[in-house]
Structure 1
Amino acid sequence: MGVSSYITFKVILVLAVLVVAVQPPPCGAATDRLSTLLRSAVDNDGEDENSGGRKWAVLVAGSNGYWNYRHQADICHAYQILKKGGLKDENIIVFMYDDIANNKENPRKGVIINSPNGSDVYGGVPKDYTGKEVNTENFFAVLLGNKSAVVGGSGKVLNTKPKDVIFIYYSDHGGPGILAMPTGADLYADDFIAVLKKKHEAGTYKKMVIYVEACESGSMFEGLLPHDWNIYAMTASAADENSSGWYCPGSDPLPPPEYTTCLGDLFSISWMEDSDRHNRKKETISGQYENVKKRTWNNGTGGGSHVMEYGSMDLRKDKLSKYQGYVLPPINVATIPMPGTTVHQRDAELLYLWEKYKRLGDEKSEMKDKVLKEMSEKMQVRAYIDGSVDAIGDYLFGTEKAHSILKSVRKTLPLVDDWECLRSMVKIFEEHCGALGEYGKRHMRAFANICNNGISLAAMGKASMAACDGHSAQ
Structure 2
Amino acid sequence: MGRVLELLKVSALLLAVGGDVAWARPKGELWAVLVAGSSSWMNYRHQADVCHAYQILHQHGVPDDHIIVMMEDDIAYNPENPDPGVIINRPDGPNVYEGVPRDYVGSSVTPENFLRVLSGDAEGLRGVGSGKVVRSGPNDRIFVNLVDHGGPGIFAFPRSLLKATDLADAVLAMHRDRKFGEMVLYVEACESGSMFSNLLPDDIGVHIQRHFGHRSRRVGPASRARQPITVELSRAAAAAIADWLLGARCWSGSKVPEVFLNMVCLQSNCGSTIYAVSASSPNQPSYACYMDEHLNTFLGDVFSIKWMEDTDREDIRRESLKKQFQIVRKEVTSSTVMQWGEIRLDRQHLSQFLGGKKVASGGRRRQRGNDFCLVGLLSLLSSCGVLCKHGDPSYDVPVAVLESRIRSSSNPQKTEDLKQQLEGLRQNRTFVSAVMASLVVHVTDSDLDMVDKVMHNSHGITRWSCYSAALDVFDKGCFRLAENPYALRVLQPIVNLCEHGYTAEQFARAVQAVCTHDPVRGME
Q: TM > 0.5 between the two?
A: yes
In structure 1, the residue corresponding to 2:81 is in which secondary structure? coil
In structure 1, the residue corresponding to 2:88 is in which secondary structure? coil
Q: Deviations over 1:202-254 (max 9, x none)?
A: 10111000000000000000011011340000000000000000101xxxxxx
Give the number of the structure whose alpha-carbon radius of gyration is greater. 2
Check 1:285–1:240 CA distance in 2 against 1; reply closer, same or farther (3 A cut): same
> How far apart are the structure 1 equivalents of 2:146 and 2:458?
24
> How far apart are the structure 2 equivalents of 1:48 and 1:73?
39
> How far apart are the structure 1 equivalents of 2:313 and 2:408?
35
Aligned to 1:417: 463
Q: Which amino acid aligns with 2:338?
A: M
Check 1:441–1:49 CA distance in 2 against 1; reply closer, same or farther (3 A cut): farther
Aligned to 2:298: 262
Check 1:329–1:107 CA distance in 2 against 1; reply closer, same or farther (3 A cut): same
> How far apart are the structure 2 equivalents of 1:471 and 1:400?
31
8 Å CA contact retained: 1:73, 1:112 = yes
> How far apart are the structure 1 equivalents of 2:37 and 2:179?
25
> How far apart are the structure 2 equivalents of 1:454 and 1:179?
25
Query: Which deviates the most, 398-407 or 238-247?
Result: 398-407
Q: Does 1:238 align with 2:284?
A: no
Q: Which amino acid aligns with 1:427?
A: D
Aligned to 1:343: 392
Which residue of 177, 188, 209 corresponds with 1:202?
177
**What is the root-mean-square deviation of aligned Cα atoms in Å?**
2.3
8 Å CA contact retained: 2:459, 2:495 = no
8 Å CA contact retained: 2:313, 2:363 = no
> How far apart are the structure 2 equivalents of 1:51 and 1:427?
43
In structure 2, the residue corresponding to 1:401 is in which secondary structure? helix
Per-residue deviation, 1:406: 4.1
Query: TM-score, normalized by length of structure 2?
Result: 0.74
Per-residue deviation, 1:121: 0.5
Q: How do 1:97-136 and structure 2 match up within 5 A?
A: 97-136=72-111
Per-residue deviation, 1:309: 0.4
Per-residue deviation, 1:417: 1.5
In structure 2, the residue corresponding to 1:379 is in which secondary structure? helix
Aligned to 1:19: none
8 Å CA contact retained: 1:50, 1:163 = no
Q: Which amino acid aligns with 1:423?
A: S
Which residue of 293, 307, 311 corresponds with 1:275?
311
Q: Deviations over 1:377-424 (max 9, x none)?
A: 22112111111112222333322222323444346xxx13233x3233
Which residue of 323, 335, 338 corresponds with 2:353?
323
Aligned to 1:28: none
In structure 1, the residue corresponding to 2:297 is in which secondary structure? coil
Q: Does 1:66 align with 2:41?
A: yes
Per-residue deviation, 1:106: 1.1
Per-residue deviation, 1:455: 2.0
Query: Which deviates the most, 351-360 or 206-215?
Result: 351-360
Q: Does 1:173 align with 2:220?
A: no
What is the number of residues matched between the two proteins? 409
Per-residue deviation, 1:445: 2.4
In structure 1, the residue corresponding to 2:55 is in which secondary structure? helix
Q: How do 1:301-320 and structure 2 match up within 5 A?
A: 304-320=334-350
Aligned to 1:12: none
> How far apart are the structure 1 equivalents of 2:316 and 2:156?
31
Aligned to 1:296: 332
In structure 1, the residue corresponding to 2:336 is in which secondary structure? coil
8 Å CA contact retained: 2:38, 2:46 = yes
Per-residue deviation, 1:440: 1.1
8 Å CA contact retained: 1:406, 1:447 = no
Structure 2: segments with no counterpart, 5+ residues: 1-21, 205-272, 366-382
> How far apart are the structure 2 equivalents of 1:277 and 1:78?
14
In structure 1, the residue corresponding to 2:62 is in which secondary structure? coil
Q: How do 1:328-407 and structure 2 match up within 5 A?
A: 328-330=359-361, 332-333=363-364, 335-336=383-384, 338-363=387-412, 365=413, 367-397=414-444, 398-407=447-456
> How far apart are the structure 2 equivalents of 1:132 and 1:49?
44
8 Å CA contact retained: 1:390, 1:403 = no
Check 1:472–1:129 CA distance in 2 against 1; reply closer, same or farther (3 A cut): closer
Query: Which deviates the most, 220-229 or 232-241?
Result: 220-229
Q: Which amino acid aligns with 2:51?
A: C
8 Å CA contact retained: 2:287, 2:390 = no
Query: TM-score, normalized by length of structure 1?
Result: 0.81
Structure 1: segments with no counterpart, 5+ residues: 1-46, 249-254, 298-303
> How far apart are the structure 2 equivalents of 1:140 and 1:50?
29
Q: Once the two structures are aligned, what percentage of the paired residues are identical? A: 36
> How far apart are the structure 2 equivalents of 1:403 and 1:472?
28
> How far apart are the structure 1 equivalents of 2:425 and 2:498?
29
Q: Does 1:286 align with 2:322?
A: yes
Per-residue deviation, 1:127: 0.4
> How far apart are the structure 2 equivalents of 1:332 and 1:233?
27
Check 1:402–1:324 CA distance in 2 against 1; reply closer, same or farther (3 A cut): same
Per-residue deviation, 1:376: 2.3
